[in-house]
Amino acid sequence: MDFEVEYKRNKIIHELMKGIWGGNFTSPIKQELTNRKDFKVLDVGCGNSCPWVLELSKDYPLAKFIGFDILPLYPKGISQNNFQFIQGDILKGLPFENDSIDFVHMRCLLPAFTERQWEEIVIKELVRVCKPGGWVELIEIDVDGKSLGPTSKRLITAYFPYYILCLF
């Protein structure tokens, strides 16, 4: 795997998704992110550049942010007091207590797991660690195109040319 290409791809995806969805999240959490020191955010599959979680940790310095990824590729030179990176595999379980995270975020991992893994492990783990009244936000695209909504269609149209460029 070419990590420089993957880094650039993650940054492009982040900016495209933010633009297409009109922000970094759709769940109603902005007030809590802004005002609560104990508000915890988990980004599962944060990628080698952690673009989403690092941007939010800068924008909301009171909240606590955790980036979680199977690859041990934490960006160098980051020293934010409200951000922590943990390497691990969600298929082996998330290393957090039940009901301990206020907002769980995951995106672009649909093809990373089988349907059975999604049903039996991934979704259950995301819900297990989310506090009652908290939010789990999955940003995924139906890649076969059978049930694309208007936002997913915009994303694929915008993303495809950039993805091809990153491959070469």
- pLDDT digit string, tens, across residues 123-151: 999 999 999 999 999 987 665 656 666 66
Where does the pLDDT of residue 163 fall: very low under 50, low under 70, confident under 90, or very high at 90 and above?
Answer: very low
pLDDT digits (tens, 9 = 90+) for 51-87: 899 999 999 999 999 999 998 876 666 778 899 999 9
Q: Which residue has the tokens 């995806």?
A: 13
In the 3-class helix/strand/coil scheme, how is 23-71 assigned residue by residue?
A: CCCCCCCHHHHHHCCCCEEEEECCCCCCHHHHHHHHHCCCCEEEEEECC
Radius of gyration for the chain, computed over Cα atoms and rounded to the nearest angstrom = 16
Closest CA to 34 of 109, 105, 103, 125: 103
Which of 17-21, 83-87, 106-110 reaches the highest mean pLDDT? 83-87
Q: What is the pTM of this model?
A: 0.83
29-144: CATH architecture: 3-Layer(aba) Sandwich (3.40)
Q: Is the pLDDT reported for residue 162 higher than 50?
A: no
